Amino acid sequence: MSLLTVGFSSAATTAAADAKIGYVDLQKAIQSTKAGKVARTSLEKEYESKKKKLQEREKEITKLRDDLEKNAMLLKDDARIEKQKNLQQKMLDYQKLVQQSQQDMSEQEKNLTQPILEKLRKVMDGMAKEGDYTLILEKSEQSVLWAKKDIDLTDELIKKFEKEK
């Protein structure tokens, strides 16, 4: 092995030994803060409201379908066709309402959690500088497969977040 290779190898080993690494679970942090709990409560209320609206529409469609099936033989062709068209339109409107409700919920969740996430990142920046961290990772199944619990900074992040005004 050449002296140059040994030099690079020892420099890399020293750099790795000096590295201070931690991780945070941002989902847990968001859900554990007071602001996150308020956001979740707001989202749950909105979800229940939308769910109730969708259930009402679903009942309406079921009633129309049942009436059509019950009276199909008694109706004239043009009246039956009109009721079928009405039912199909109601079903399409319902599907659009479901999709719109899902989009609205996603957007509202983003709007409520984005400010919390921004503040968490600001607090985390301060923690990283204060603790002289080389790297802080976000804990997720895609990025952190395993890590020691003693480098989990989530609880510390939550405490510092709650102290910030």
Q: pLDDT per residue over 60-109, tens digit each?
A: 999 999 999 998 888 899 999 999 999 999 999 999 999 999 999 999 99
> Which tens digit of pLDDT belongs to each residue from 137-158?
998 867 776 778 888 899 999 9
Please report, for residues 17, 112, 144, the alpha-carbon distance to residue 57 in angstroms, rounded to integers and kept in the order given.
62, 28, 44
- Is the pTM for the entire model greater than 0.75? no
For the chain, helix, strand, coil in percent to 5 are 80, 5, 15
Which pLDDT does position 142 carry in this prediction?
73
> Which tens digit of pLDDT belongs to each residue from 8-63?
444 445 555 678 999 999 999 999 999 999 999 999 999 999 999 999 999 999 99
How far apart are the C-alpha atoms of 84 and 95, rounded to whole Å? 17
